[in-house]
Every structure is written in structure tokens, then in C-alpha cells.
Amino acid sequence: MDDAAIDALLRKMRMATDALPEEALLRAGREALRAMSRLAQSYSPTGAPLVDCNIVSVWPRGDRLVTAEHMQGWQTLAGSEYTAVTVSGGHAVLVEDPERLYAECGIASLVERLLSRTSPA
């Protein structure tokens, strides 16, 4: 994908904001997307859980890039408990408003509950 196509995708995702000059965000976004693309191309699924741990997937219902069904794919990779949480917001909600996200999805109580199940008695 050339720079113009990546820039169009990033603008569609609304990653450019007034916080930084748009070109700086687009350049960083291009680098990140290319790195994720290389990683995705090199991944070969085994069908087995990746790690023996609990996984909490947080899906923002306004995400135009990742569907709820895609997020459910994490369930097959969890070696232990899998919890799915749906929140309001778009694809970048975690970096745009983390405090609201944590409050809305109850992440603190989820982490406490999961840790209590894995902590030695």
C-alpha cells in the first residue's frame, strides 16, 4: 500500500487530530500500520491457545475497522478464561479516553476477579 492509500485509511479512522500537525500523525500511523502488516503477514496460526492466561477483549461498538466477531477470535487463543466487554466509542477509544473506558467496562473489577482466581492461596 502506498503512502496516499495509507493516509486515506488513517483519515477514515479519524486518527488525525488537532493535537499534533496532521503530517506527524500520518507519518507515525503509516509506520505503525506497516509494522502491523509485517507482523500479520508473518503470523501462522496453530489453533492452540497462545498463552495460558485470562484474556479480556474490549470492543468499542463504534469501531469501523474491527467487528465484534473479530474480537471473539481471541476466545480461541485464551488458555484460560475469556471475557468480552463492549463499550461506546471508536477504534482508538483506549488512547482517546482511557479513564472513561476503564470506568465504563469495569476493567478494575475484571482484573481483580481474574487475579483472585490465579493468585496462590
67-113 pLDDT, tens per residue? Answer: 989 888 888 878 788 888 888 888 888 777 778 777 877 777 777 77
Distance CA 71, CA 82 (A): 11
pLDDT in tens, 73-85: 888 878 788 888 8
Does the residue 50 lie in any domain? no
Mean pLDDT of the chain: 77
Q: How many domains does the chain have?
A: 2
Question: Does 38 share its domain with 60?
Answer: no
Q: Which residues contact 110 (CB under 8 A, 6 or more apart)?
A: 56, 83, 85
Distance CA 119, CA 103 (A): 24
Q: Residue 51: what residue type?
A: V
First to last CA, the chain: 52
Does the residue 48 lie in any domain? no
Q: Where in the sequence is the domain holding 91, given as residue range(s)? A: 55-118
Q: What is the pTM of this model?
A: 0.53
Percent of the chain's residues with pLDDT above 90 = 0
